[in-house]
Amino acid sequence: MNTVQLVGEVTDRPFRPGSGARTVIKVRVHDDASNRFDNVEFDAFGSAGDFGLRLYSGDRIALRGRLEDRQFTEQGEIVHEMRLVANHIELVKRASDGAPRQPRHESSDDERRSNDE
């Protein structure tokens, strides 16, 4: 089984390199066991990638995906790289949700009627 699940905070605005369909998302994950933070970069495609483009730095997300081994040539040498590919991304908390909000008051029809009387 090749399944990875992470919860972390988006560190940079997600982007699509070049004109491809791949969205790159960078996340900071806290490791409770070692009490340290790890930076993880992952790819998302399709609807997960489209959703990823709507994320902002500071948003807390949960993701599920898989590890993928890639091989490419760089400067004449073969490079092996492990990448995390997200199948599902879920917004846990918007970064802006921590900011105080102004209460929005809309009067109902009943309240308007009682004020008119």
Domains along the sequence of the chain with CATH: 4-97 (2.40.50.140)
**Residue range 10-39: average pLDDT?**
92
**Residue range 19-27: average pLDDT?**
91
For residue range 59-87, what is the model confidence (pLDDT) as tens digits? 999 999 999 998 989 999 999 988 899 99
For residue range 47-62, what is the model confidence (pLDDT) as tens digits? 999 999 999 999 999 9
* Token couple for 86: 């997200």
Highest mean pLDDT among 17-26, 32-41, 57-66, 92-101: 57-66
Task: Return d(Cα 15, Cα 44) in angstroms, integer.
Answer: 10
Give pLDDT, residue 99.
52
Q: Write the CB contacts of 15 (distance below 8 Å, at least 6 apart in sequence).
A: 23, 24, 53
Task: Please report where in the chains the tokens 């990448």 appear, as a residue.
Answer: 83
